[in-house]
Chain A
Amino acid sequence: MVLIVIIVSFTPMILVGGVIYDQFHESYHEKVYAHLEVLVKKHKQNIDAFLKEKLSDIRFFSAAFNFQELSNEAFLEEKLLTLREEYNEVFEDLGVVNDQGIQTAYAGPFKLVKADYSEADWFKRAVKSEYFISDVFLGLRGMPHFIVAVRRTWEGKHWILRATINFMAFNSIVENLRIGKTGIAFILNREGQFQTKLHSGIVSTEGCVNFLRSLKRNGDKIHIIEKCADSGKATIYVTAFLKGGDWLLIYKQDRLDAFSDLKHSQMTAILIFIIGGLCIITMAIVLSRGMVSRMANADQEKEMMNQQVIETGKLASIGQLAAGIAHEINNPVAIMVEEAGWIQDLLEEEDLKETENLNEFQRALKQINTQGKRCKEITHKLLSFARKTDSTVHDVHINEMIEDVVGLSAQSASYSKVVIDTKIQKDMPSVRMSQTEMQQVLLNLINNALDAMNKKGGTIDISSWSENKHVIIEVSDDGPGIPGANLARIFDPFFTTKPVGKGTGLGLSICYGIIKRMNGEIDVNSVVDKGTTFRIRIPLS
């Protein structure tokens, strides 16, 4: 019962909750991914634009001034100052390098005039193309930086204008990309070396390198992958190629952090679910208990009703049966008695008078007569049990009726040495009922009490009063009481404790039938050795 209620309440809750959660989860995922994608794309564009801008600055310088002008260190110094003023000290220094890799002119904080770059990796590559942006490296000065270089030709020889970009300034662009607690961004080159400041959170870059290699270098595409980081936490990686595929911008965030809102709502939902579930279970238990007890009560009441109906039905059907039997039995008994009488008549004739068993014959015939009379008595009682007596209803003064009945019984009571006391309430209302029937009931009860006291003497108290629109009559004796086993059966027809031939067992069931017909109640209270009380309740209307 409880289980069914719980299952029925939980199933839709779980289904609805699950579907909504799934949908929400999906769309939130999409939203977060889209957000991250846009973010990374924007940064990629920012960084690309930054690099392009710096490159075009240098290209502008290299085109605007020729090799000779720029070889003048004072002039170069002046240009560097202009650039720094313009771009917030993004440019660290400027240098002019000839085709042999020797820096012929330099402006900046380091003493790098005449520095030989002929073996430097960047130089080798810068010479080969018109412009070039290097990876971050330590170089001669021993500090991380990268170079923007432009190749020009002067008098048939290549020369290179190079500028160093302040690493911190560049770093700050990337570092701006911070979301939540764990969201960080960094840049790797194709070898997996950091192009930005190292973060404590990133230990291994090998995975990224492998990933980097596995990717085709297809322009603007943004990749989002989810995998377990070394720490065991699910982590989201968002990657975008920079600088025409040389660099990789990686944005990394713990999955839990990225989906913290989702997590939060998940927790709220679970909390609601648990509280709701507890409520449902409690209600289910309380309600079903209440229901079960109510049903049990109803069953019990029904059982009692059934018993009453059965009792009444039993009385009615037994009444009919009894009447039928009485009619049928009466005639054969009459014939038997007459035949016996006839034999008795014949015995009177002289030739049989000498028979020595004459006395025995006569005794036997007398006995048949006696028993026939007994049968007659029984059938007459049965008939009175079944027949409709004078049940015409009129106003009856209860007290007068009681006095009448007591008067009738006084004689037999005195034989049994019993005193009958009446305690009647004055001004009793008169009740509409059949006087003869009520007399019969009272007489039956008094006779029963007298029989019970078995000539040992005692008292019978008859009291009457009215309460709650009912008239109550009590007949109580101080006789031997009725044993519990018999108490339940005393109203059953033919139930008697008297010796065979002394009682028919119909008296109390007749009383019961009469009182029930009056819509009244009769019940009994008995304590062994203390006495028995019959109480009759009859409604006034």
Chain B
Amino acid sequence: MTIANVLLVDDEVPFVETMTKRLNKRELDIVSAFTGEEALQKLEKGHSIEVVILDVKMPGMDGVETLREIKKRFPLVEVIMLTGHATVETGIEGMKLGAFDYLMKPCDIGDLVSKVGEAAAKKRSHEEKIINARMKEITSRRAY
């Protein structure tokens, strides 16, 4: 059992490859995508994805746009932003749009893993709450 199912989105292929290896080693299940569009397709297919690590600066559909789309279509999926800029604004903007957190590139692998863990836990607890709510609904329905 892995810690979490993660989708890694970045236009830099070597970065994605190395990161995949490193995160795999840390017991994360990684699916990679190189553009925003590809990320959305992968999310569509693999429903097990819990956390998306998303680069802000990408050609075509950029990180912020992709984030907006993900939150619209898969509201429960948590997103961690990776920014090249040391700007607080980008981070703040991402958080406002519903990102779980943001990290600056190059980031410490330990930090990243722990953030992913937190994000996955949050997602799971959300899902749990939803399930509980449903169960409550169903059980209460029976009571009538």
Contact = CB atoms under 8 A, between A and B. Distances in A.
Contacts of B57: 327
Contacts of B60: none
Contacts of B109: 338, 341
Contacts of B87: 383-384, 387
B21 interface: yes
B84 A338 contact: no
B85 A331 contact: no
Nearest to B85: A383
Q: Which of A326, A330, A335, A387: most chain B Cβ within 10 A?
A: A335
Interface residues of A, number: 21
Given A334-B15, A335-B12, A327 B84 contact: yes
Contacts of B106: 330, 333-334, 337-338, 372-373, 376
Given A338-B22, A338-B106, A331 B86 contact: no
Contact of A342 (B22, B84, B89): B22
B88 to A, nearest CB: 9
A380 interface: yes
Contacts of B89: 390
B131 interface: no
B24 to A, nearest CB: 10
B18 interface: yes
Contacts of A383: 85-87
A338 B22 CA distance: 8
Contacts of A333: 106
Interface string A312-352: 00000000000000110011011101110110010000000
B104 interface: yes
Interface in B80-131: 84-87, 89, 104-106, 109
B85 A338 contact: no
Q: Is the interface of A mostly helix, strand, loop or mixed?
A: helix
Given A376-B106, A380-B86, A387-B85, A331 B12 contact: yes
Nearest to B88: A390
Nearest to B110: A341
A333 B21 CA distance: 18
Contact of A384 (B15, B86, B105): B86
B90 to A, nearest CB: 10
A335 B86 CA distance: 17
A342 B18 contact: yes
Nearest to A323: B85
Contacts of B21: 342, 345
Given A331-B84, A335-B12, A384-B86, A345 B105 contact: no
Nearest to B18: A338
B43 interface: no
Interface in A377-407: 380, 383-384, 387, 390
Nearest to B89: A390
Contacts of A327: 57, 84
Given A335-B12, A383-B87, A387-B85, A376 B18 contact: no
A329 to B, nearest CB: 10
Contact of B105 (A334, A339, A341): A334
A337 B15 CA distance: 10
Given A327-B57, A338-B15, A376-B106, A345 B22 contact: yes
B19 interface: yes
A7 B144 CA distance: 121
Contact of B18 (A331, A339, A372): A339
B3 to A, nearest CB: 16
B98 to A, nearest CB: 23
B52 to A, nearest CB: 18
A335 B22 CA distance: 12
Contacts of A345: 21-22, 25
Nearest to A333: B106
A339 B106 CA distance: 11
Interface of B: 12, 14-15, 18-19, 21-22, 25, 57, 84-87, 89, 104-106, 109
Interface of A: 326-327, 330-331, 333-335, 337-339, 341-342, 345, 372-373, 376, 380, 383-384, 387, 390
Pairs of residues from A and B, 5 with the lowest C-beta to C-beta distance, nearest first:
A380-B86, A334-B106, A337-B106, A338-B18, A334-B105
5 contacts: A335-B12, A335-B18, A372-B106, A383-B85, A387-B87
